[in-house]
C-alpha cells in the first residue's frame, strides 16, 4: 500500500535526515559494541565535531513509526535533523527506547 500524503506532510524523502539517521545508528552501534569508551573519544578518533555527535546520535532513539515516516517521506514537514535531535531526548515525546518500551521518567527526589 502506498503511503498516504496528508496536509503538512512531506511528499519526498529527506536525504539529509536519512543520512543523519544512518550516522546515528552507526555511531550508536560502535558505542554499544565498546569500540569507544565515550562520545568524546569517538568524536576525537572519527574526527567528528564534539557538539554535533551527541545531537545526531539521539536520532538513533527515535520511535519506529517516526523512523518509518522519515524513510518513506511521510514525516511532518516540521521534522528536520535540528528539530528531531534537539527534541528527541529532552521531551521524550518523539522517542522510545529501542526495546519498544515507553521512556522512563526520573523521579525528582
105, 7, 13: which is closest to 68 by C-alpha? 13
pLDDT for residue 3 is more than 50: no
36, 12, 14, 30: which is closest to 80 by C-alpha? 14
User: What's the pLDDT tens digit per position in 35-84?
Assistant: 999 999 999 999 999 988 998 999 999 999 999 998 998 888 888 777 77
Q: What is the mean pLDDT of residues 89-107?
A: 41
What is d(CA 29, CA 32) in angstroms, rounded to the nearest whole number?
Answer: 5
Q: What is the pTM of this model?
A: 0.64
Question: Which residues lie closer than 8 Å to 56 by C-beta, 6 or more apart?
Answer: 20, 23, 24, 27, 81, 85
- pLDDT for the residue 86: 66
Domain, as residue range, for 75: 15-90
Q: How many domains does the chain have?
A: 1
Q: Is residue 1 included in any domain, yes or no?
A: no
Tell me the β-bridge partners of 76: 9
Q: Is residue 64 included in any domain, yes or no?
A: yes
When pLDDT is cut at 50, 70 and 90, the band that residue 93 belongs to is: very low
Q: Is residue 51 included in any domain, yes or no?
A: yes
Question: Which residues lie closer than 8 Å to 42 by C-beta, 6 or more apart?
Answer: 27, 30, 31, 35, 36, 48, 53
Q: Is residue 71 included in any domain, yes or no?
A: yes
Amino acid at each position: 500500500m502506498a503511503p498516504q500524503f496528508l496536509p503538512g506532510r512531506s511528499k519526498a524523502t529527506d536525504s539529509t535526515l536519512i543520512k543523519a539517521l544512518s550516522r546515528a545508528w552507526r555511531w550508536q552501534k560502535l558505542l554499544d559494541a565498546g569500540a569507544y569508551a565515550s562520545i568524546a573519544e569517538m568524536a576525537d578518533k572519527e574526527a567528528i565535531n564534539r557538539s554535533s555527535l551527541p545531537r545526531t546520535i539521539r536520532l538513533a532513539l527515535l520511535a519506529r513509526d517516526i523512523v518509518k515516516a522519515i524513510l518513506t517521506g511521510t514525516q511532518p514537514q516540521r521534522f528536520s535533523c535540528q528539530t528531531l535531535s534537539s527534541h528527541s531526548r529532552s521531551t521524550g515525546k518523539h522517542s522510545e527506547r529501542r526495546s519498544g518500551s515507553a521512556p522512563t521518567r526520573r523521579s525528582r527526589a
